[in-house]
Amino acid sequence: MSNTKTFTKDFTLQEPICDEGIEKALEILKSGKLHRYNVDPGEKGETALLEEEFAAYMGKKYCLACASCGSAMYLALKSAGVKPGDKVLCNAYTLAPVPGAIENSGAAIELVDIIDDYTIDLDDLEKKAMAADTRWFMLSHMRGHITNMDRIMEICNRHDLILIEDCAHTMGALWDKKKSGSFGKVACFSTQTYKHMNSGEGGLLVTDDPDLIARAIIYSGSYMLYERHTSRPGMDVFESLKTMIPNYSCRMDNLRAAILRPQLKILDVQCERWNKRYRILEQGLIQIKGITCPKRDSRENYAGSSIQFSLINQDEKTIQKFLARCKDQGVELKWFGNKEPVGFTSAYESWKYFGELPYLANTKRILATMCDMRIPLTFTEDDCKLIIKIIKQVAENLLK
């Protein structure tokens, strides 16, 4: 049936680690000094340097490097003061590590609905924020879609909500010229392979709050070596905390930090490269009948490492056919409407460990037709054009 070339590249293949990172990593391997506290007196290790540099990049006072973004989110919740049984508001469209971090803190989750542009429903948020026992708000900028942060901050201020940002998909992104992750009391980023910087696994937590960072550093497993952190407040802040906070061992090591530091230097350039590809795909997708790409706010400066679109009004069978035919042509799409969680996607119904969760009609309806595609930088702009050609041909033959 097809006369379009098949796409043959791998949707999970990232670019190699740059030479500077590899050389530094080899140096560390040869020295054997992989642990972040394995430094000479006065020497700043790679992990401490990465923290200084990421804090500076974010315009934040402090940064802590962690084993993963999931562990950073857990430490953020604990260090901000979330107690077992507290309620944490969270948008229902997000990924499994987010509810996982909330559960790990002992808190209960209060899911907030989403709207058709895939962002949180601000009216539902406001309604749920009014409950007297609601203090915490984990906002996940899922797949890099940033909601109106001015309204978020108004709602947080009006209802005394403490905002924790999950920026796993917004590293390098901005809302109205302000960096995503600089709005909340604390924000968490991922350096897992499929995000914007790649160290296999890893997370970064940023904040301006001296007490919060001191807690997070101790929680992360600093033993009594927190003095070796250089992105931290004065030693006096740790004094009253050091025996009151357990060690959860969520540290990053020097090897990973070493390969991240050169990546941070080119992060903005990489984001521009992602966005070039994103715009080609978006421009192509919006012209295909049956496919909708929500319009993004002009104040949103995203870091488009993936793209989402909806097959509105299509039934499950048609969507499955659409996905299968795209796959036959080498175009690997994910679908958030699956009954069973598959791969990296999972819908909120599969977070059964929380017990009964509310039925969110809009989230259900929107996820039922939402497709998702990775945009690794190993794809060229021509690759993106071929992908559009394939999707267009499948859609024209299938979608009414």
Ligand X SMILES: *Cc1c(COP(=O)(O)O)cnc(C)c1O
Interface with ligand X by CB under 6 A: which residues?
68-70, 94-95, 97-98, 140, 142, 166, 168-169, 190, 192, 203
CB of 192 to ligand X, least distance (A): 4
Give 7 or 93: the residue with its C-beta nearer to ligand X: 93
CB of 168 to ligand X, least distance (A): 3
Give 94 or 310: the residue with its C-beta nearer to ligand X: 94
CB of 146 to ligand X, least distance (A): 13
Give 128 or 169: the residue with its C-beta nearer to ligand X: 169
CA 281/CA 235 separation, integer angstroms:
50
CB of 344 to ligand X, least distance (A): 7
Give 172 or 284: the residue with its C-beta nearer to ligand X: 172
Q: Is the dihedral of CA 74, 77, 81, 86 positive or negative?
A: negative
CB of 74 to ligand X, least distance (A): 9
Q: Are strands 87-91 and 108-112 parallel, antiparallel or unpaired?
A: parallel
Closest C-alpha to 285, from 317, 314, 324, 311: 311
CA 280/CA 324 separation, integer angstroms:
23
Count CB atoms within 10 A of the CB of residue 22: 14
CB of 40 to ligand X, least distance (A): 30
The amino acid at 137: F
For every residue of 180-231, DSSP letters joined together read TTSSSSEEEEE-STTSSS-SSS-EEEEES-HHHHHHHHHHTT-TT-GGG-SS
Q: Tokens for 279, please give them.
A: 């715009």
Give 97 or 304: the residue with its C-beta nearer to ligand X: 97
Burial of residue 126, with CB atoms counted within 10 A of its CB: 0-12 exposed, 13-18 middle, 19 or more buried: middle
CB of 190 to ligand X, least distance (A): 3
Give 308 or 329: the residue with its C-beta nearer to ligand X: 308
CA 268/CA 9 separation, integer angstroms:
25
Give 98 or 285: the residue with its C-beta nearer to ligand X: 98
CB of 180 to ligand X, least distance (A): 12
CB of 167 to ligand X, least distance (A): 8
Give 191 or 393: the residue with its C-beta nearer to ligand X: 191
* In 250-312, beta strands by DSSP E: 300-301, 306-310
Q: Tokens for 92, please give them.
A: 């229902």
Give 69 or 102: the residue with its C-beta nearer to ligand X: 69
Max CA distance (Å), the chain: 71
Q: How far is CA 357 from CA 84, 96, 97, 111, 149, in A?
A: 18, 15, 17, 8, 26
